[in-house]
């Protein structure tokens, strides 16, 4: 039976290399047409100008979009100092320019202040909702509202290259979900007293998916035509490898599937820690979902 004729059983992550100029929703819409599958979702929205890793959840895996434990993201971004725009990137309207020179050493010192736990003000051109309306919708209406700073975490910022004459370069940012790279660059520029904007962005890692594992839209269409969808899909349980694994007995598998809470002495439940989340496998080694041991019993947290 081909993947096309067995859509109900499809479950996995399709690692997509998003092209420049596409929204994340554009990718989903295109893939629905290519794969002829409606149940698609993505984790981690990318701006239209950005390229790179967009994990697309297929079939029953869409239930996992909002609970992926791996919050790590890695980006490579081009930047230009001396220019500030309303979108904080090169697609926006120029608000201010500066001729101030910036040495590599000054740039290194400035960026170090943005590593670790920091507070970041979300850009107006973002998908964050305020009173039911997305900020970029308000921005397009010419409105700017007060935004509360949010806590984000950045593990490292590496300057890959920098030309002091043009004041342009490339940085690599290893951070957690929720970090705006445009804001990082604009904030570094502000600290340097000259402003700055992002000129390009590629995400090379997101939610356990690496850029080297990703397929372009064209490659996906070609391989799907050869009935190789299953070969492209990453098994869903790989996204939860940070959780410990437990395998249930045959009777316990049946009970678990029916929503019955399991007792501490039952097969697969012994030795589990209270309050912990676990990858749950049935007696046939099939991945069932995520379970939680709480208040003396083990139950389903999310089934797939």
Do the bridges between strand 129-130 and strand 40-42 make them parallel or antiparallel, or are there none, so unpaired?
unpaired
* Residue 47 annotated to the active site: yes
- Collapsing DSSP to helix, strand or coil, 131 comes out as coil
Alpha carbon 180 to its chain's center: 12
Quote the Cα angle for 18-185-204, to 5°. Answer: 30
Exposure letters 57-82 (e unless 16+ CB within 10 A, then b): bbbbbbbbbeebebeebbbbbbbbbb
- For residues 289 and 236, what is the distance between their CA atoms, to the nearest angstrom? 9
- Collapsing DSSP to helix, strand or coil, 81 comes out as strand
- For residues 55 and 215, what is the distance between their CA atoms, to the nearest angstrom? 10
HSE (side-chain half, CA atoms, 13 Å) at 299 = 8
- Collapsing DSSP to helix, strand or coil, 24 comes out as helix
What's the token pair of residue 21?
């100029």
Of 207, 182, 208, 206, nearest in space to 195 by CA: 182
What's the token pair of residue 117?
């736990």
Which of 47, 89, 174, 187 is flagged as catalytic? 47
Residues with a catalytic annotation lie at 47
């Amino acid at each position: 039976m081909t993947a096309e004729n067995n859509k109900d059983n499809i479950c996995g992550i399709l690692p997509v290399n998003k092209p420049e100029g596409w929204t994340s929703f554009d990718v989903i819409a295109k893939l629905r047409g290519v794969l002829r599958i409606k149940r698609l979702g993505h984790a981690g929205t990318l701006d239209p100008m950005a390229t790179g890793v967009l994990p697309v959840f297929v079939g029953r895996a869409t239930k996992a979009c909002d609970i992926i434990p791996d919050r790590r993201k890695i980006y490579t971004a081009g930047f230009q100092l001396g220019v500030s725009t309303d979108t904080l990137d090169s697609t926006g309207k120029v608000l201010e320019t500066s001729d101030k020179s910036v040495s590599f050493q000054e740039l290194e010192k400035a960026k170090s202040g943005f590593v670790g736990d920091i507070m970041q003000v979300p850009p107006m051109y973002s998908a964050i909702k305020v009173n039911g309306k997305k900020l970029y919708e308000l921005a397009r209406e010419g409105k700017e509202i007060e935004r509360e700073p949010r806590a984000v975490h950045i593990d490292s910022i590496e300057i890959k290259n920098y030309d002091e004459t043009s004041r342009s370069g490339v940085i690599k940012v290893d951070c957690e979900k929720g970090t705006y790279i445009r804001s990082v660059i604009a904030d570094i520029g502000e600290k340097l007293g000259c402003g700055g904007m992002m000129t390009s962005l590629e995400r090379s890692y997101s939610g356990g998916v690496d850029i080297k594992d990703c397929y372009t839209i064209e490659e996906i269409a070609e391989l799907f035509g050869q009935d190789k969808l299953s070969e492209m899909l990453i098994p869903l349980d790989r996204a939860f490898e940070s959780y410990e694994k437990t395998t249930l007995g045959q009777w316990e598998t049946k009970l678990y599937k029916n929503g019955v809470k399991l007792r501490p002495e039952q097969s697969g439940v012994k030795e589990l820690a209270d309050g912990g989340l676990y990858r749950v496998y049935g007696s046939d080694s099939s991945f069932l979902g995520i379970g939680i041991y709480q208040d003396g019993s083990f139950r389903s947290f999310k089934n797939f």
